[in-house]
Structure 1
Amino acid sequence: MGFAEQRFNVNLSILFTELPLLERPAAAAAAGFTAVELWWPWVDSPTPVRSELDALKRAIEDAGVQLTGLNFYAGQLPGPDRGALSLPGVESERFRANIDVAADFAQSLGCRALNALYGNRVDGVDPAAQDALALENLVLAARAADRIGAILLIEALNRPESPRYPLVSAPAAVDVVDRINDATGLGNAKFLMDLYHLSMNGEDLPSTIERYASKTGHVQIADNPGRGAPGTGALPLAELLGQLRKAGYEGWVGLEYKPGAESFGWLPREARAAR
C-alpha cells in the first residue's frame, strides 16, 4: 500500500508557477491530474474584483479539474507572511473581509476544504491576545465553512522556516482544532497534516499519524530535505501514506513541493486521476 492507493491533487500555488495563474489548471489536467488546490491567489487583495474571481473559476471549469482545497487570505505567500487571522489591526480585518468571499468562491466550484493559516507572532503584542483574536476569527471561518458544507483546516508549519509562527507541532495545531470545535459545536475543524513540515520539526511521523489520523481533514506532502518531490529526499512517503490509509484516512493528498526537472516522474500517470 502506498502511492497507488491515494487521491492526489496538485497545489497550483507552488507547482506550475512558471505559467500565469489562469493557465495552471489546464497544465495540471494535461499532466493527468483531475484535482487541484490553491493558496489564496490574490496576495494583495482579500476581496478581488468579480471579474478576477470569475476568470479563475472559468479556468478551473474549462480545464475539467476539481478544486478540492483553498486557503483563506493569508498575506504574502510564499514570503514572510504566514497568515493574517491572528494579527491585530488591518490584517485581521482583511482576513474577516475575505471569509465569505473565499467561502462563496469555494462553494461555486464544489470545494469542501478551506485552510486558515494562523499568523506570525507580533512584537509588542501579548501572545494571549493574539490567540484570543485568532479564535474569534476562526469561529467566524468555521461557520462560513459550515454554511457551504466544508471543513476548516488548521495547519502546523515548521519552526526552522517559520520561526514566528506559533503552531509548529501537530499537538499545537490539534489543540486549536479542538478549541474551535468546542467554541462552535460544529465539529468541522480538522487538522491539516503536512508531512514535510512535521518532519522538519523532528516529529515522529508514524506516531503522529497513529495519534491524529482521526482528526485529519487533509494531507500535504513534500520530501525532506529540500522540499522536493517524493524520492528527492529521505522521507518514506509511500509508507507513511499507506499508514494513514490503514488508519482510516481516505481524503486528498496535496502535492505541495518545489518543482524540479521531474516534478511528477515519481507518480505513474494512471495514479494521478482521482478514483
Structure 2
Amino acid sequence: MDVAAEPSAAARHSFTVNLSILFGELPLLERPAAAAAAGFTAAELWWPFGEQYDPSEAELDALRKAFTDAGVRLTGLNFLDDLSWGARGAVSVPSERDRFRANVPVTVALAASLGTPALNALYGNRVEGVDPAEQDALALENLVLAARAAHGIGAILLVEALNRPESPDYPLVSAAAAVEVVDKVNAATGLGNAKFLCDLYHLARNGEDLAAVIDTYADRIGHVQIADTPGRNEPGTGELDFEDLFARLTAAGYTGRIGLEYRPSTGVSADSFEWLAREHRAAVR
C-alpha cells in the first residue's frame, strides 16, 4: 500500500492511538497532548505504572489531568501487566495472584473516571514447575473477577493472543485459543462482556489467515489493534494490506475502534501517521 495514499476503507473506522508505544519519545504525561496535536481524540494504554499495582492518588490524578487537559479520551487500558520485564500479564501467574486482584479495583476506578470502555487482561506466561492446568484455572478465576468488575462500569474485558516469536512462553498464540478463553469467561459470568482483542500484527506473525479470523470471530471481537509486519511499524512499511483488512472488518460488521499499536519506523511518532488522513484521526464515537 502506498503510505501517501489514504485507504478509503480507513474512513469507515474510528482510531485510537496507543500511547505506551507511540510518542514513547516523550514523558508519559506529555503524550496525550502530543496525540491531540496530531489530530487524535482517543488513546489507549498498557498498564502505565510499571510494577506498582496500586499507585498513589497523586499519580492517578496526574494521569487523569493529562488526558482531560488534552481533550483525549482514554478508550482502552490494561490491567497490571508490567511488560517492562517481559511478564506478558499476570492473570495466570500464581505469584501475581494477590497483586493482580488488588489491582483490579484500581484499574476499574481509573477507567471509570476517564470513561474508558475496554480493559485488557494479558494472560501471563507459563511458569516453569507449575502445572499449566493450575495456571489456566487461576486465569479463569481472575478473568471472571475482572469481567465482573468491568461490567460494573459498563466496560468490556479483552483477552489477547500474542505472537510466539516474541512471546514464546505465552500460551495464547492463536485466535482460537484466545476466543476459547473468552467463551469460558462468558459462560462462567453470564455477562457476555468478555471479548477477543484481535491484534492483527500478532496474528500475522503467527501465520494466521487474517481474513478467516475476521470472518470466523467477528461476533466475539471487542477491539482491534494494528501494526505492519514484520517490523511492527506503521501501515505501509510491511506486508499487510490494510485497505483490504479494514474493508473486511467493515463487511464483518465490526464497528469498534482500531488501536494503532506500532513503533514509528523513523523513531518520530508524529511522522508516522501519513497513511491516515488527519480528518480521519479524530474518533467519531
- TM-score by length of structure 1 reads 0.98
Question: What are the superposed Cα offsets for residues 97-155 of structure 1, whole Å, 9 maximum, x if unpaired?
Answer: 10010001001011010000000000000000000000000010000000000000000
Q: CA RMSD in A?
A: 0.8
Using the alignment, how far apart are the partners of 1:260 and 1:203 within structure 2?
24
Matched to 1:85, the amino acid is V
Using the alignment, how far apart are the partners of 2:115 and 2:86 within structure 1?
31
**Structure 1 residue 81: Cα displacement:** 1.3
Q: Which runs of 5+ in 2 are unaligned?
A: 1-7
Query: Which residue in 2 is equivalent to 1:75?
Result: 82
**Structure 1 residue 256: Cα displacement:** 0.2
Select which of 67, 73, 80 maps to 1:66: 73
Query: Which residue in 2 is equivalent to 1:260?
Result: 265
Using the alignment, how far apart are the partners of 1:113 and 1:76 within structure 2?
19
Using the alignment, how far apart are the partners of 2:283 and 2:128 within structure 1?
45
Query: Which residue in 2 is equivalent to 1:180?
Result: 185
Using the alignment, how far apart are the partners of 1:225 and 1:18 within structure 2?
22
Using the alignment, how far apart are the partners of 1:134 and 1:274 within structure 2?
33
Q: Does 1:246 align with 2:251?
A: yes
Query: Which residue in 1 is equivalent to 2:201?
Result: 196
**Structure 1 residue 241: Cα displacement:** 1.5
Greater relative contact order (Cα 8 A, min sep 6): structure 1 or 2? Answer: 2
3-state SS of paired residue (1:2): helix
Using the alignment, how far apart are the partners of 2:83 and 2:192 within structure 1?
29
Q: Which runs of 5+ in 1 are unaligned?
A: none
Using the alignment, how far apart are the partners of 1:42 and 1:250 within structure 2?
30
Using the alignment, how far apart are the partners of 2:246 and 2:98 within structure 1?
37
Query: Which residue in 1 is equivalent to 2:26?
Result: 19
Using the alignment, how far apart are the partners of 2:43 and 2:128 within structure 1?
36
Q: Does 1:115 align with 2:124?
A: no
Matched to 1:43, the amino acid is G
3-state SS of paired residue (1:173): helix
Q: Does 1:233 align with 2:242?
A: no
Query: Which residue in 1 is equivalent to 2:278?
Result: 269
- TM-score by length of structure 2 reads 0.94
